[in-house]
Amino acid sequence: MSPTQPTRELKKGSAELLILSLVDDQARHGYDIARLIEARSGGDLTFHAASLYPLLYRLEARRWIDGRWSVKPGQRRRRLYRITAAGRKVLAERRSGWAAFVRAINRVTGGGRA
Amino acid sequence: MPDWRPEIRRRLASLELPPSRVADLTDELAAHLDDRYRDRLASGEAPDAAERAALVELRDHEVFEREYRWAIDDERRGLTRIVSVVSGLTADLRHAVRALARRPAQTLLVVLTLGAGMAAATTVYAVVDGVVLRPLPYPEADRLVMVGLIYPEQAWRADAPDVQALYGASAADAFDWQAQARAFEDLVPVEQRTLLLPDRGHGPELVDSASVGEGFLELFGATPIFGRSFVPIDFDVASDPVMLISHATWMHRYGGALDAVGRQEAGRTIIGVLEPGFRMPDAVVSRPVEFWGPLRPEDARYEPRGRRSVAVVGRLREGVTLDAARDDIAGVQVRIAEAFPGDYTTPDGRRLSAGVNRLQAQTVGAAARPLYIFLGAALLLFGIACVNAINLLLLRGLDRRGELAVRRALGADRIRLLRGLLVESVSLAAGGGVVGTLLAYGGVELFRWLGPTSVPRLGEVAIDGRVLLASAVVSMGAGVLVGLVPAMRATGRAATSVSFGGEAGFTGAAASGNRLRSTLVGVQVALATVLAVGAGLLFASFVRIQSRDVGFDPERLSAFTMPVKVEGRVSSEQVWDALLAEVRRVPGLDAVAGASDVPYYATTWRPGVGVEGAEPGPILGGYAGFVVTPAYFNAIGARIVDGRGFSTADRAETQPVAIVNATFVRRFFPHRRPVGAPIELETGEGRTDAVIIGVVADIVERRVEDGVRPAVYLPHTQQPWLIGPTVVVRSAREPATLFPELRQAAARFDARLPVLDLSSFDDRADRRLVEPRFRAVLFGAFAAVSLTLAAVGLYSSLAHSVGRRRKELGIRMALGADPRRLFGMVLRQGATVSSLGLVAGLAGAFALTRLLEAFLYGVTAADPITFGVSAVVLLAVSLLAAATPARRAGRTDVAHSLRN
């Protein structure tokens, strides 16, 4: 793994934040979420199906996101996920928590100029 | 597009998911892989490379399984908790049933104990619910009201504080109120009437009917099941008279024939049959109304404003409070009274006002309070039953110490043990609840059968869903509460740190356990005392009512009434004499006489009376006035204590005379002799001056408990305005054998008129005793059951204690203790607990019996004799209960007890 690619621990911890933020503005299906993460992170973050969907199910069980099947004629049915009110609250908390965390780390390590 | 599904399913297989879930996950993953494959193709990769890239998304088996299991376990954890709790409770239930079955006698005792308590509580609650709490069976019943006239100073009922004392109004009042009052959507007059049906083989019959104003049937949601309802033209005085019949009447009198509609009956045409189950509100007419006719405002009978024969019912406008309606109608009435001053002023110058009650409150009236008292008594009984159950469970817990200790030692945690024990106690309570509910069905029937006729809506009382729900909740709750303390005790550390083979280590726990159990027994005795005192007071009242001197001799005395209307040139004296002459032709009569009203019936006439030189001031309820034939006092066995009775010498043309009763004399002639004194009478005919010629000992009016008012008796020859008399006869033979001949005599007099209330005075007396007897019996039953429960509780407690102390007692005996001393010791133990409970109970009874004051006659709420007798009874019962265990203690087999 290259030094700039995040470690597995960091990924797991921030995965929920990533997913929540992506379903905040519109409902998306799993592949969409994975593709967006990959694209927007410039390839630094990737999620395989085997890791992504379990995360989605957990978030769904906690009622932070809401999953619904959507059927288009002639196509396979897909599950679309959107954020819930509770999820929005968690997202806001995590965002500010994450930002604070990053600031703190940078201050301590003195390297924010990446 | 490759098919990803076999590969996906292979990975999901090890997770053991339900098929629907597998399908969902498969679809979702397949869609994902499809997208990945398409994207790869789009970016120029070869198909099999794209396929491989897609499959990489699934990772290898291990990783896949790990990730998915992590998510699924999370989901399952929530569900698992519920499932495990449920399965745990099911196991507990099975264990509980087995444990209870192992000691059937004990189980049965607890179930019956709780069942007795629940039966009492459920029965009385069903009555309270049906009579007081349940809304009336009409649409929007909460807005239904009754409006009537009130006397401003006595506007509120003494026996039901928020209810106004409404009196009947005139039809004109009803229409004025409807026009002027703003608080009501509708106000409709209703008049209770009677209808004379001609002889159909059983003699002419007087039946209950009602005239109802326009809109009445709509107000109560009553529709005919066939035929038609009233239409506006029916209320026109010129149109043909019509009527509706009730469903019961249709079945009973017309055999359910379809041609009943259209038939003529008593000069009216039947136009329809009302739906079954609809009945006139109790507050308007308390008997079932058979025939319903339109109340015609133009009818001459409604013209006089002073004729107050009408009840007025209606509905409040949406959102209007009762207070607002009361203010509204009072204001309207002020205006009406100003327009017609003569009609709304009482003789002593007070203005009549108008008031409103909710129909439900008007119906329930005074019935609520005694029912609540009964409910209180029933709950006391239930409390005793619960305390008994607690005690029995405590004893049971002691017996199972060994078993529970072993389970603790094997690692069961306290919560689980507690849960198990609580499941046991709830099962017992459920069993008690079932037993109690079954008994309550019988209880309700009994209540209805024995029940005081003054309780309204008794026909609506039933054990329905509401009552069942309440009783289920209470019994479950009781199960938990009753089981809690015994369960805590049984599973506590003190209890379960058993030293096997010795009971010596128990003294600490045993002592406090003993204290608790003794206290509980004491509580039972206290509660039983309260009920016993209550029952004693009611019983004493009943006896006093029954044995009170009623002022006449009811033996073989009978009476009946005929609703004769005296019309035309015939004087009432001639009518009475003619009727009595016919009755005298019946053989075997010792005496025949007539009176306007007789004992055990309400006195309808209230004349004004003035006595020279006596203090003025109104008498509550007024005076009682009677018109009688000369033979009356002799016929009924009343005692003339001064002066003379009426004779044939007292005629219309001679000096007006009067006889007064002893209460009258006490009120107006405390120091002088009344005979010869003049009095002034105000009857319907005007004022007359009369002379008192005699005094009769007090004769009971309607009920013994109501006391006797000052009364004036006048001869029938001097009162020309009468309606039909009540005929009294005393016979040598049994009254019932006379009745057919009396009916024949009445028919000879006028075959068109019905014979009403033909009965013996013994029967009438009995009817008056129904209520006080019922109260005494009900409380007595509660007291008896509670005494039994208390005795059983005391017995169990002592028996158990003696059983546990076998070794100690054996040692004492071995050391030479006198068996009688051991007997005495146990007996004293029981007596101490009971005495303390008794004292507490007497204090409680002293505080609570004032609630019964309204029902007491001849005894005060603190009657010392009753309290004393109750105390003696309780002590006796306690000693009896303690006797057997005490005897067993005295008879301890030394060798046997030392061996164990």
pLDDT digits (tens, 9 = 90+) for B342-372: 788 876 677 889 999 999 999 888 788 888 9
The pLDDT tens digits of the residues spanning A22-72 come to: 999 899 999 999 999 888 888 888 888 888 998 898 888 888 999 999 888
Does residue B34 belong to the interface with chain A, where contact is any CB pair within 8 Å?
yes
Q: Alpha-carbon distance B67 to B29, whole Å?
A: 14
* Beta bridge partners of residue B273, listed in sequence order: B226, B245
Q: Is A47 helix (H, G, I), strand (E, B) or coil?
A: coil
Question: A interface mutation test: which of B57, B58, B77, B79 has the most A CBs within 10 A?
Answer: B57
Residue in chain B lying closest to A46 (CA): B57
- pLDDT tens digits, residue range B196-216? 888 777 778 889 999 999 999
Q: What is the pLDDT of residue B657?
A: 92
Tell me the mean pLDDT in the region B108-117.
92
- Closest Cα partner for B694 from B629, B642, B627? B642
Q: State pLDDT tens for residues B642-685.
A: 999 999 888 888 889 999 999 999 988 888 899 998 888 877 66
Mean pLDDT of chain B: 87
Q: Which residues of B touch A49 (CB under 8 A)?
A: 29, 32-33, 36, 57-58
Pairwise CB contact (< 8 Å): B30 & A50:
no
Contact B127, B447 (CB under 8 A): yes
Tell whether B159 is within 8 A of chain A (Cβ): no
Is residue B712 pLDDT above 70, yes or no? yes
At B326, which amino acid appears? Answer: R
State the pLDDT confidence band at B502, using cuts at 50, 70 and 90: very low
Beta-strand (E) ranges in B198-328?
A: 205-212, 224-227, 242-245, 264-265, 268-274, 291-294, 310-316
Instruction: Give the DSSP H or E segment for B727.
Output: strand B726-731
**What do you get for the CA distance between the two ends of chain B, in Å?**
86
Cβ B59–A48 below 8 Å, yes or no? yes
Chain B residues with CB-CB distance to A55 below 8 A:
71
Question: Which pLDDT band holds residue B427 (cuts at 50, 70, 90)?
Answer: very high
Instruction: State the pLDDT at residue B512.
Output: 62
Beta strands in B487-643 (DSSP E): 557-561, 589-595, 608-611, 624-628, 640-643
**Smallest Cβ distance to B32: which of A31, A57, A77?**
A31
Q: Is pLDDT at A105 greater than 70 in this prediction? A: yes
- β partners of residue B657: B691
**How far is residue B655's CA from residue B464's CA, in Å, rounded to a whole number?**
66
Let me know: does B531 contact B779? Beta carbons within 8 Å.
Answer: yes
Indicate whether B614 pLDDT > 70.
Answer: no
Q: Does B240 touch chain A (CB under 8 A)?
A: no
Which positions ≥6 away from B439 have C-beta within 8 Å? B115, B116, B118, B119, B123
Closest to B482 in 3D by CA, of B385, B377, B402: B385
Question: So what's the ipTM on this one?
Answer: 0.88
More confident residue, B707 or A9: B707
Q: Is the dihedral of CA B545, B549, B552, B557 positive or negative?
A: positive
Tally of CA atoms within 13 A in the half-sphere of B857 that contains its CB: 21
Per-residue pLDDT, B571: 77
- Best of A16, A51, A71, A72 to substitute, by most chain B Cβ atoms within 10 angstroms, is A51
pLDDT in tens, B739-786: 989 999 998 988 888 888 899 998 888 888 888 888 899 899 999 999
B593-603 confidence digits (pLDDT tens): 999 889 988 77
Single out the residue of B709, B708, B705 nearest to residue B858, CA to CA. B705
Least confident range from B116-130, B144-158, B287-301: namely B144-158
- How does B294-324 read in b/e, with b if 16+ C-beta sit within 10 Å? bbbbeeeebeebeebbbbbbbbbbeebebee
What per-residue confidence (pLDDT) applies to B616? 56
Structure tokens at A90: 């968690």
- Give which of B3, B10, B35, B56 to mutate to test A binding, by max A Cβ within 10 Å: B35
Residue of A49, A58, A77 lying closest to B29 (CB–CB): A49
Q: B123 to each of B369, B467, B479, B780, how far by Cα in Å?
A: 16, 9, 19, 16
Residue B817: per-residue pLDDT: 80
Hey, what amino acid is at B97?
V
pLDDT > 70 in chain B, percent: 94
Residues 71-90 of B with CB under 8 A from A: 71-72, 74-75, 78
Q: What is the mean pLDDT of residues B852-879?
A: 91
Of B62, B69, B66, B59, residue with least CA distance to B29: B59
How far is the alpha carbon of B27 from chain A, nearest alpha carbon, in Å? Answer: 7
Identify the CA nearest to B329 among candidates B142, B141, B143, B149.
B149
DSSP B660-722: EEHHHHHHH-SSS--TT-EEEEEETTEEEEEEEEEEE-----S-GGG----EEEEEGGG-TT-
Q: What is the mean pLDDT of residues B877-888?
A: 88
* Residue of B529, B438, B557 whose CA lies nearest to B836: B529
Quote the percentage of chain B above a pLDDT of 90: 42
Check if B31 contacts A (Cβ < 8 Å): yes
For A31, the closest chain B residue by CA position comes to: B32
Q: Work out the average pLDDT over B878-883.
A: 90
Write out chain B residues lying below 8 Å of A57, CB-based.
71-72, 75
- Greater pLDDT, B821 or B383: B383
Rounded CA Rg of chain A: 16
Tokens of B316: 């409040």
Segment among B55-64, B466-475, B679-688, B838-847 with least mean pLDDT: B679-688
B31 vs A31, A35, A50: nearest CB: A31
Q: Which segment, B58-67, B154-163, B491-500, B788-797, is predicted with the most confidence on average? A: B788-797
3-state helix, strand, coil in chain B (%, to 5): 55, 15, 30
pLDDT confidence band for B503 (50 / 70 / 90):
very low
Nearest to A33 by CA among A9, A52, A60: A52
B191 band by pLDDT with thresholds 50, 70 and 90: very high
Name the band, by pLDDT with cuts 50, 70 and 90, for residue B704.
confident
Interface test with B, best of A33, A38, A53, A60 (most B CBs within 10 A): A53
pLDDT, residue B506, reads: 42
Q: To the nearest whole percent, how much of chain A has pLDDT over 70?
A: 85
Residues 6+ apart with CB under 8 A from B245: B253, B254, B260, B270, B272, B273, B274, B290, B291, B292
Contacts of B39 in chain A (CB under 8 A): 35
Residue of chain A with shortest Cα separation from B79: A61
Chains A & B: contacts with CB separation below 8 Å: 63
Q: Mean pLDDT over residues B239-243, rounded? A: 93
The residue with greater pLDDT, B639 or B401, is B639
Other CB atoms within a 10 A radius of the CB of residue B887 amount to 15
**Residue B185 per-residue DSSP state:** E
Q: Do A49 and B33 touch (CB under 8 A)?
A: yes
Mean pLDDT across the stretch B823-837?
89
